[in-house]
């Protein structure tokens, strides 16, 4: 079987998280996230956030989190603004539109929105004959592996507050984003109305933690989760994993681990003079190879062909908690051999 660099959720779960579930296998809990393990997990997360003034809700997946949050916050005539490459615009099969809300896009830069993009979109939606933009959606890290710096997030946050827009941050790959930026978890309470902490892509079986800071968003959110089919009967399955992930900094340690391996691949590819589609500092990297090299490499490894470019194809390598330095070194050696065939 070919080794996969296709994504960061190809493996079942990190051993420490599996062990936590195994140890709890004979426990009995209340359902729907009302259990002691979920409460403990929320306490640990709030300690990292350095605030008790937030509500935390566990769901199982990123698209579920995005659709649930966005459809709860926006009024029927409102839309969400996102970068053109955003997950909700490209990779969620119209899940947001299916809730009755349009996704308005701006091109952005390197997968990131800027205040100027927000201003441009607002000017283009100026009266009651158009959808009203009610929310800005960004992700940390982005679909291109890039990250927002604190100053960039602060500028977007200030712009949203100036125009009375909700700011929602998708954290599907937040562990990697935190490890690659100067943004710390305790900063989010002052930057956004809500965000979520991704677990599925950092070693959990499944699980995301939606965090609501804005008091206006807190009432009856559980009703909405249930209405959208996202209230998990065995909510403690997610709670146990987050409880373990936020003990001993496991969550952030895994973020650094996967980023370090991606950085190793990046540096080795730069030494081979391989160009890149984006300047990623996280666990997703996008090298560009000729069609011939991609075809040969695909015989040995599984990866995603991201986009056709002038000189060939941009492909995506993603490192996970399961990835080792040894398999990364093997990948580099195989790339060297393949590239040598076409020199």
Provide the pLDDT for residue 34: 96
Statement: residue 273 has pLDDT above 80:
yes
Distance CA 197, CA 211 (A): 8
Show the beta-strand stretches assigned E in 86-139. 103-106, 132-139
Instruction: Provide the strand spans (E) within the chain.
Output: 3-4, 55-59, 78-83, 103-106, 132-139, 166-170, 194-198, 208-212, 284-285, 288-289, 301-302, 304-309, 312-318
For residues 241-246, give the mean pLDDT. Answer: 98
Q: pTM of the entire structure? A: 0.96
pLDDT at residue number 139: 98
Judge whether residue 116 has pLDDT over 90. yes
pLDDT, mean of residues 45-72 = 98
User: Is it the case that residue 46 has pLDDT exceeding 80?
Assistant: yes
pLDDT above 90 (res 342)? no
Question: Does residue 147 register a pLDDT over 80?
Answer: yes
Length of the chain (residues): 343
Is the pLDDT assigned to residue 343 strictly greater than 80? no
The CA-atom distances, in angstroms, between 182 and each of 268, 329, 338 are 25, 29, 37
Question: What local confidence, expressed as pLDDT, does residue 182 receive?
Answer: 97
Taken in order of first residue, the domains within the chain and their CATH numbers are 3-9+250-341 (3.90.1150.10), 15-245 (3.40.640.10)
- Contacts of 17-20 spanning 24+ positions with Cβ under 8 A: 17/203, 17/204, 17/205, 17/241, 17/244, 17/245, 18/205, 20/240, 20/241, 20/243, 20/244
* pLDDT tens readout for residues 278-319: 999 999 999 999 999 999 999 999 999 999 998 899 999 999
pLDDT of 199 strictly over 90: yes
């Amino acid at each position: 079987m070919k080794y996969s660099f296709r994504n960061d959720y190809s493996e079942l779960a990190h051993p420490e998280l599996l062990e936590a579930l195994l140890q709890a296998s004979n426990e009995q809990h209340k359902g729907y996230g009302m259990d002691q393990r979920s409460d403990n997990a929320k306490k640990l997360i709030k300690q990292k956030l350095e605030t008790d003034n937030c509500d935390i809700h566990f769901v199982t997946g990123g698209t579920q989190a995005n659709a649930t949050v966005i459809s709860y916050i926006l009024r029927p005539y409102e839309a969400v603004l996102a970068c053109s490459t955003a997950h909700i615009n490209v990779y969620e099969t119209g899940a947001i539109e299916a809730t009755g809300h349009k996704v308005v896009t701006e091109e952005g830069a390197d997968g990131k929105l800027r205040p100027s993009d927000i201003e441009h979109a607002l000017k283009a939606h100026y009266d009651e004959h158009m959808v009203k933009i009610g929310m800005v959606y960004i992700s940390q890290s982005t679909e291109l592996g890039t990250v927002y710096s604190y100053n960039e997030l602060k500028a977007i946050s200030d712009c949203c507050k100036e125009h009375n827009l909700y700011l929602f941050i998708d954290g599907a790959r937040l562990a990697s984003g935190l490890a690659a930026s100067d943004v710390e978890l305790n900063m989010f309470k002052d930057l956004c109305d809500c965000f979520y902490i991704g677990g599925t892509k950092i070693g959990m079986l499944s699980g995301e933690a939606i965090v609501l800071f804005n008091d206006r968003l807190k009432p009856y959110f559980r009703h909405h989760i249930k209405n959208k089919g996202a209230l998990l009967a065995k909510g403690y399955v997610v709670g146990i994993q987050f409880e373990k992930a936020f003990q001993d900094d496991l969550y952030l340690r895994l973020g650094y681990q996967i980023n370090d391996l991606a950085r190793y691949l990046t540096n080795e590819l730069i030494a081979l003079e391989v160009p890149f589609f984006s300047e990623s500092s996280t666990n997703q990297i996008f090298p560009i190879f000729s069609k011939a090299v991609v075809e040969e490499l695909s015989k040995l490894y599984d990866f995603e062909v991201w986009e056709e470019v002038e000189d060939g194809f941009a492909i995506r390598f993603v490192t996970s908690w399961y990835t080792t330095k040894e398999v990364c070194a093997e990948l580099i050696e195989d790339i060297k051999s393949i590239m040598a065939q076409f020199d």
